[in-house]
Amino acid sequence: MVHYKTEEEIDILRENAILVSKTLAEVGKHVAPGVTTKQLDKIAETFIRDNGAVPGFLGYGGFPATLCLSVNDMVVHGIPDGYVLQEGDIISVDCGTVYKGFYGDSAYTFPVGEVDAQTALLLKTTEESLYLGAAQAVDGNRTGDIGHAVQSYCEARGFSVVRELVGHGLGRDMHEDPMVPNYGKPGSGKKLREGMVICIEPMINAGAKEVYEKADGWGIATADGRKSAHFEFAVAVRKGKPEILTTFDYIKKIKEY
């Protein structure tokens, strides 16, 4: 069942989205060779709590950390641990908050130092596809319009779209209806209506689309071991033009990504 949001509720979701945006930037300041994923997780938890919210992921379904930190071939849901970031890695930082009874949820994939040209193209393409998908989040369109925009853009550049994981509605629960796949046909899927707030989150692989679940029961990795990128933000469906609640501007100010 879709939960349509009032303007007051969208205001609170926007507050959450901005806090997540700022948290991603705070973490991004520390993404560098020699840093552990556990250290990044602690930075995020402290920042979120210092700003009056609580981590949205910590304890969610039993998840043991504040951030999902997914390095290289890990698509999503990586558990922070003692892994030391290396030059040329990429890391998806997926962050959630709970504030005033609502959730925030967004992700950004950072390069660790200098990355090769193909990896840089993967990051650029995935982020650009997110905005193309978001542009379709208008009243009267369908989820398939979003998915098609993402899929066609990424596949035209030689990348593949993960099928098993999708975007979602956002509100008092982190995962609400409708599901928002990153693939699909125009005019198909759930009809979008004003008052919906959704998370669009392309998960794009450098190689094949197939993935598998790690032994820890959380991490999802590419089957061929090649890198995967993940970008996510929250969008309020509007008439005529969507409203992107999340911003990557804080991240862009710290480094040129």
Q: Which residues are paired to 110 by β-bridges?
A: 91
Fold of 7-254: Creatine Amidinohydrolase (3.90.230)
- Predicted pLDDT at 196: 98
Task: Please compute the mean of the pLDDT values over residues 74-84 and round it to a whole number.
Answer: 97
- Predicted pLDDT at 255: 73
CA distance 28 to 40: 9
CB 80 within 8 A of CB 67: yes
Per-residue tokens: 172: 């008092």
Q: What is the pLDDT of residues 3-12, one digit of tens each?
A: 999 999 999 9
Residue 197: pLDDT over 80: yes
Q: Which residues are paired to 176 by β-bridges?
A: 169
Contacts 24+ apart (CB under 8 A), 214-221: 214/74, 216/79, 218/63, 218/77, 218/78, 218/79, 219/70, 219/74, 219/76, 219/77, 219/78, 219/79, 220/74, 220/75, 220/76, 220/77, 220/162, 220/164, 220/165, 221/73, 221/74, 221/75
Task: Please compute the mean of the pLDDT values over residues 147-152 and round it to a whole number.
Answer: 98
Query: Hey, where are the domains in the chain?
Result: 7-254
CA distance 239 to 100: 26
Band of pLDDT at residue 257, cut at 50, 70 and 90 = low
Whole-prediction pTM: 0.97
Q: How far apart are the first and last CA of the chain?
A: 37
Nearest to 251 by CA among 20, 55, 47: 20
Residue 195: pLDDT over 60: yes
Residue 256: pLDDT over 70: no
